[in-house]
Amino acid sequence: MQGHGEFLIQFIRLAGPFWNSDNKAQIRQRAAILVVLTLLQILLAVLITEWSAALFNALEQHSMSGLVTQIGQLVLIFAASIGVTYWHMTIKRQLQIGWRAWLTERVIGLWMVKGRHYQVNHIQTGAHDNPDGRIAEDIRIATDEAIALCHSLFYSLLLLISFSEILWRLSGVVVIDLGVFSLPIYGHLVWIAIIYSAGASLWGWWVGKPLTLTTNAMQTAEADFRYGLVKARENSQAIALIHGESNEQHRFRDLFQKITETYGQQSHAWANILCFNSGYSVLSMAFPILIAAPRYILGSITLGALMQSVQAFQQMSAALSWPANNMAGIAQWRASVERVLGLVKALEDLEMEIARPDPQRILLEKIAQPTLRLHNMCISLFDGEVLIAGVNAEINQGDRVLMGGDAATAAKLFKAIAGLWPWGCGRIELPAGETLFFMPPRPYLPYGTLQTSVCYPSPPEQFSTALIVSLLNLAGIDELADQLGQTESWDQVLTREQQQRLGLVRLLLYRPNWILLQEAFDSLTPDGEEQMFRLICQELPDAAMVTITNQPTAQAFHQRRIIL
């Protein structure tokens, strides 16, 4: 684990620019209001101790008028406390959600750009698994807890300043007679509070130290389990068709076993902290009264002064005990921040790795001719293992080329053309100003209306409903025309064949000049696949088409073949 100083520097470097962002005037205004409200909270805490002293003095003097006066003051303090608490919570939560939104947008901007969300999965080093959990949950904890902890620390510092002065004044002077001479001690309650709280804080840090490690491990285990459940939900049809439920149950048990093991370790760490906090809270309730009571018994102070001394001691002790009291929150906050930093570092390392000059990188160049050229292409894995080398090809607009052989390697070649796979060497020349349309085995269908899914990534308003309906009929899925306005998880509702036919509809909507198909019709019957290729050739006769498939029906629609 990195040092505290280095960790804080990395967190400030990542999340600190929020306070100087485009909306900085409003952000700083809210922060200033939060500071003012915190000062009012301290003022109310001081007023409550003074009210308590006056109340107990009135009770000691059997003064009914004094009691009525204190009741009136209590009403005012009560109303003020409610108002300050309400606005404090409102402003603090506005800052928290604002910071979270800013940091979420920043991290998503690093992740969901130029295929980095895909490429980062192929890096072998670094902590970047489960990016969804890191972005959705860990950023929330990182920002919410940062503001909560900073506020509580600031509040504790103000408590310390305010109540140490009150406690010093109430302590008076205690003279210890040593026989030969007398030793006056000023502010003895302040010194006792400092020693008492320092000892408790050191003990609390030592007791709670294992919680940081176990919290980090617990969050990772929870994220892995959650990701496994989501993955199963997304592929429920495939699991059901091959009766893989028992295998999934076994895998879920293994994932949850990690949670159980880590939970036990975290429970042990929590138990130590709770035992400490339980004993500390009992001692904090009685200890101030015991050390202040002798002066009241001797008649040096009134009952009101005694109770005010007790409250001031407790407030000062609480302020000094901030580290011990916030051990759990600090542990959770640090664990979440480290998970966010791990993802960001992996993305930044990936960006630097791709950007730095390296002969073992695939170069992409834009050219003026309507041609796609592969020059001495070599495809390798991230660790340098070569998959294929010496690929040379020239594809002109209107050409129809079939790629046979190893489909997985051909798919990586497609990814290299798309700029998603930089690992390898050689050069790819692409036609400038042209859009390459990639059709994977399953088209991405985002949650929403069917019309939105078909038109993705463009908004549905870009294409007329009549055009979409005519293309659905052309693709042989006219039964979906009545469902264009329905909202569903279409990747779960539609069969694989329907999804692949929707992929053709999307292709015909965009009408590109360059088409790259990766086993885009492999779930269709030979007749269905033949129908899809025929439609492409009829509707887009001038488009270049490069197809990855080993199906014999595709050969009739291609002019030449490249074997990988």
Which residues fall within 8 angstroms of residue 473, CB to CB, at 6 or more apart?
481
Tell me the percentage of the chain whose pLDDT exceeds 70.
96
Tell me which of 95 and 116 has the higher pLDDT: 95
Nearest to residue 506, comparing CAs of 432, 559, 440? 440
Please tell me whether residues 118 and 49 are part of one structural domain. yes
Tell me the percentage of the chain whose pLDDT exceeds 90.
40
pLDDT for the residue 450: 94
pLDDT for the residue 46: 87
Please tell me whether residues 158 and 180 are part of one structural domain. yes
Q: How confident is the model at residue 91 (pLDDT cuts 50, 70, 90)?
A: very high
pLDDT for the residue 291: 76
| pLDDT, tens only, 175-224 | 676 666 766 777 777 888 888 777 777 777 777 677 767 877 887 788 88
Please tell me whether residues 164 and 287 are part of one structural domain. yes
Give the residue numbers spanning the domain of 314.
4-355
pLDDT for the residue 269: 81
Q: Among 305, 329, 355, give the residue marking a domain's end.
A: 355
Length of the chain: 564
Residue 45 has pLDDT above 60, yes or no: yes
Across 5-14, 70-79, 325-334, 389-398, least confident range: 325-334
Tell me which of 125 and 259 has the higher pLDDT: 259
Q: Quote the tokens at residue 316.
A: 């000062």
Contact in structure between 205 and 324 (CB atoms under 8 Å): yes
| pLDDT, tens only, 163-183 | 888 888 877 776 676 666 766
Please tell me whether residues 409 and 542 are part of one structural domain. yes
7: left (phi over 0), alpha (psi -120 to 50) or beta: alpha
Please tell me whether residues 283 and 405 are part of one structural domain. no
Quote the number of domains for the chain. 2
pLDDT mean over 522-547: 93
pLDDT mean over 296-303: 78
pLDDT mean over 496-518: 94
Please tell me whether residues 397 and 530 are part of one structural domain. yes
What does the H/E/C string look like for 200-264? HHHHHHHHHHHHHHHHHHHHHHHHHHHHHHHHHHHCHHHHHHCCCHHHHHHHHHHHHHHHHHHHH
pLDDT for the residue 39: 95
Please tell me whether residues 393 and 345 are part of one structural domain. no
Domain with 473 in it: what CATH number?
3.40.50.300
Q: Among 307, 335, 355, give the residue marking a domain's end.
A: 355
Across 19-28, 270-279, 375-384, least confident range: 270-279
| In 91-210, beta strands by DSSP E | 173-177, 182-186
Tell me which of 196 and 416 has the higher pLDDT: 416
Across 178-182, 185-189, 371-375, 463-467, least confident range: 178-182
Q: Among 320, 355, 390, give the residue marking a domain's end.
A: 355
Nearest to residue 537, comparing CAs of 556, 563, 518? 556
* Max avg pLDDT among 83-87, 219-223, 323-327, 386-390: 83-87
pLDDT for the residue 170: 78
* Amino acid sitting at position 514: W
Half-sphere exposure of 113 (CA within 13 A, CB side): 11
Q: Quote the tokens at residue 481.
A: 């025309």
Q: Which residue has the tokens 């004993």?
A: 279
Please tell me whether residues 102 and 193 are part of one structural domain. yes
pLDDT for the residue 221: 85
Q: Coil, strand, or helix at residue 2?
A: coil
Please tell me whether residues 340 and 399 are part of one structural domain. no
Please tell me whether residues 265 and 391 are part of one structural domain. no
Please tell me whether residues 263 and 373 are part of one structural domain. no
Please tell me whether residues 344 and 440 are part of one structural domain. no
Nearest to residue 409, comparing CAs of 391, 431, 427? 391
pLDDT mean over 225-232: 84
Domain with 304 in it: what CATH number?
1.20.1560.10
